[in-house]
Amino acid sequence: MKYIDEFYDRKICVNLAEEIAKKSLGTELTFMEVCGTHTMSIFRNGIKDLLPENISVLSGPGCPVCVTPNRTIDKAIAIARLNEVCVCSFGDMMRVPGSSSTLAQERGRGADVKVVYSATDAVGIAERNPDKKVVFLGIGFETTTPTVASSIKDSALKGLKNYFVLPAAKLIPPAIKAILNSGKTKIDGFLLPGHVSVIIGRKPYEFIAEDYGIPCAIAGFEPTDILYAILRLVEQINNGSPAVENCYRRSVKEDGNKLAKDMMNEVFEVCDSEWRGLGVIPSSGLKIEKKYRAFDALHNFKMDVEETKENPDCLCGDVLRGVASPLDCALFGGVCTPENPAGPCMVSSEGTCAAYYKYADVRR
């Protein structure tokens, strides 16, 4: 298919990989991909096997399901246990373990928990069920948050009184900063997330190159996109000129999507937020603006949330910081599998543990 097949062309991929090998010869380099879709694409397309031994690619905190902490899941479960409430969630969140239960288990016990594809679907459920309070579990990054903002604005315009959002959205640039400030992971360059960048543009990442001297490349999701972005990272290192390069120009504009950003800024305001594995990161989350408080589940439901407990044997937190591989986890592949996940990184279709499990013949 013209304009699509080229992105998968084996010859182009091999040429790019050879160029990377030639230009990085004699240097050990570690790059972090900050997006779950990149993680999956890298594994699915065998990119780790194409790259030379001296280049390592680490997964970062780019899977929204994985970084959502137990506390948020516990709140959603507490709401699901209330009478005349319907909790709506993306499918991936259903089996993520909270402190003592999952949304899927709550549904099995009789709670009204529905899988939806978007916040708009949840608004539709609220419209069709005026006797129910419908609560959308609003996880996600800058990519999905404008749609959640739109669902709230839409509900306000329609005068809906039974639609609520449990706000749990997170912002990617502060998470990258937190990883860099932790100093625990050696990172020579970032493959920046294409989807998030479609919304926020290129500029919000400039601090990475300017303040930390680390090269960055915004990458698309096809194999040639990813290999080309890695090549540009290597070239930036060789030239000693770290920058934020947009290698996904067919989708990402310099300033992102103004309409989506305006929508997000009208409905949400920036706040500190807790991330699994990274703790509370300043200014890394979004809460609902006062003006839209009538739609804020945190202000409209009394939640009986138990004390948060994490599975002490699950290394998801370390995997998300790039300091451990799923293969370091004693539960990987035995106790923890996609059928019986012990942590979010095995549940999510974008989770690093799920990627390792599915594409087992991988090196660390």
Which positions touch ligand SF4 (CB under 6 A)?
Answer: 314-316, 319, 326, 329, 331-332, 336, 342-343, 345-346, 353
Contacts of 192 (CB under 8 A, 6+ apart): 34, 35, 205, 216, 217, 218, 219, 244
The Cα angle at residue 22 between residues 319 and 49, in degrees rounded to 5: 40
Which CB atom, from 252 or from 353, has the smaller least distance to ligand SF4? 353
Which CB atom, from 261 or from 321, has the smaller least distance to ligand SF4? 321
Q: Which pair of structure tokens corresponds to residue 161?
A: 């009184």
In whole angstroms, what is the distance from residue 113 CA to residue 120 CA? 16
Q: How far is the CB of 91 from ligand SF4 (least distance, A)?
A: 17
In whole angstroms, what is the distance from residue 364 CA to residue 362 CA? 7
- Asked if residue 274 lies in contact with residue 280, where contact means CB atoms within 8 angstroms, the answer is yes
Q: How far is the CB of 187 from ligand SF4 (least distance, A)?
A: 20
- Asked if residue 155 lies in contact with residue 123, where contact means CB atoms within 8 angstroms, the answer is yes
Integer-rounded Cα Rg, in Å, for the chain is 21
Provide the 8-state DSSP code for 188. S
Which CB atom, from 52 or from 333, has the smaller least distance to ligand SF4? 333
Which CB atom, from 231 or from 353, has the smaller least distance to ligand SF4? 353
Which CB atom, from 66 or from 148, has the smaller least distance to ligand SF4? 66
In order of 11, 192, 282, 284, the CA distances from 178 in angstroms are: 38, 15, 9, 10
Q: How far is the CB of 35 from ligand SF4 (least distance, A)?
A: 18
Which CB atom, from 193 or from 317, has the smaller least distance to ligand SF4? 317
Element (H, E) at 354: helix 352-358
Provide the 8-state DSSP code for 340. S
Which CB atom, from 201 or from 351, has the smaller least distance to ligand SF4? 351
Q: How far is the CB of 343 from ligand SF4 (least distance, A)?
A: 3
Q: How far is the CB of 355 from ligand SF4 (least distance, A)?
A: 10
Q: Which residue is nearest to ligand SF4 (CB)?
A: 343
Q: How far is the CB of 74 from ligand SF4 (least distance, A)?
A: 17
Which CB atom, from 208 or from 329, has the smaller least distance to ligand SF4? 329
Relative orientation angle of helices 10-24 and 223-239, to the nearest 10 degrees: 20
Q: How far is the CB of 56 from ligand SF4 (least distance, A)?
A: 19
Q: How far is the CB of 130 from ligand SF4 (least distance, A)?
A: 40
The Cα angle at residue 126 between residues 122 and 131, in degrees rounded to 5: 145
Would you state the torsion angle of the CA atoms of residues 312, 314, 318, 321, taken in this order, to the nearest 10 degrees? -120
Q: How far is the CB of 186 from ligand SF4 (least distance, A)?
A: 21
- Asked if residue 113 lies in contact with residue 86, where contact means CB atoms within 8 angstroms, the answer is yes
Which CB atom, from 136 or from 332, has the smaller least distance to ligand SF4? 332
Provide the 8-state DSSP code for 140. E
In whole angstroms, what is the distance from residue 92 CA to residue 311 CA? 19
